[in-house]
Amino acid sequence: MAERRSRYARDPLGLKRALSDRLLPGLVAAMALLAALALAGTHGAAALKERWQQGAAAAVTVQLPPEQSGRMDQALALLRGMPEVASAEAVSPERMRELLRPWLGEVPPLPLPSVLELRLVNPGIDPEPIARQLAEAVPGAEVEAHGIWVARLAALARSVQGMALAVLLLVVGVGVAVVAVATRAGLASRRQAIEILHDLGATQDYIAGRFARRIGLLAASGALAGAALAVPTLAALAGVAAPLAGGMVQPWSSLPWLDLILLPPVAGGIGWATAQVSVRRWLRRLP
């Protein structure tokens, strides 16, 4: 009997029976996993966009026709002497065949154009003057800047960021709706106990606080499980995407650890605030 009274004193509204400690945390865990994926997508798209803009935007390819391959040294000397060019290097035939192999298979021993790789001092430099000077010195030389492709890739990255943020907002909205439904279900199942306590003098703050603490803890525990599930998933995705980042980033170090750590307290805060609002609105309807 004493143990029963102690349990009632700790949980006078019977919230442990009214609010399941499995269904709500499970739903929040699934939404936290989706939120982690959306946040990782946002960070990944931003990192790729920065890499493309800083790397490929400053890269320029120079192509010499096969009949002008003997003037490679002249072209290199001219380009390296330009103040707009940070570096100029020739692409070896072996590397050319390696680059063409995914598209053409084993490249036959045909005369390939001589290719130079340039790095500009500033990605915003117009390569047209460089192309004009080079064409005057080496007839038939062509300069191809990657700016248009970088702009398209940057636009694609911004679109991915926008979609990820939209998914994140959708997850938050669904989470609020799920918590509100769970809170109303708990209120309905404990209506009689709530009315008795209310008639005995329990305030709205007391009842709402009880529900909010329970809901907040359940939401935080579910988000913690979802964040834990997201870690190996994001690490695997980071390993797949590593070639796009130049293969220099370790999967575990590229994870959005701060966002993952913040997921449980943020989910708990959202659950607490939603429960507070839902309970107070419901209590106002009591006679």
Asked if 116 and 144 count as a contact pair (C-beta separation under 8 A), the reply is: no
Which pTM value belongs to this model? 0.66
Tens of pLDDT, residue by residue, the chain (287 residues)? 434 444 444 555 556 655 666 788 888 999 999 999 998 888 878 777 776 666 555 567 888 877 777 788 888 888 888 888 888 888 777 777 776 666 566 656 666 677 888 877 776 677 788 888 888 888 888 777 766 666 777 788 888 888 989 999 999 999 999 888 888 887 887 777 777 777 777 788 888 888 888 889 999 999 999 999 999 988 888 777 666 555 555 667 778 889 999 999 999 999 999 989 988 888 787 66
- From first CA to last CA, the distance across the chain in angstroms is 33
Q: Which positions ≥6 away from 179 have C-beta within 8 Å?
A: 24, 215, 219, 270, 271, 274, 275, 278
Q: Is the dihedral of CA 89, 95, 100, 102 positive or negative?
A: negative
Contact yes or no for 106/49 (Cβ under 8 A): no
pLDDT of residue 262: 93
Q: For tokens 């960021």, what's the residue?
A: 161
Write the Ramachandran bin of 115: left for phi over 0, alpha for psi from -120 to 50, otherwise beta. beta
Report phi then psi at 252, rounded to 5: -70, -35
- At 15, the amino acid letter reads L
* CA atoms within 13 A of residue 170's CA, in its CB half-sphere: 9
CB 4 within 8 A of CB 200: no
- What is residue 99's predicted lDDT score, i.e. its pLDDT? 66
SS3 74: helix
Query: For residue 216, which of 36, 8, 15 has the smallest C-alpha distance?
Result: 15
* CB atoms near residue 152 (< 10 Å): 11
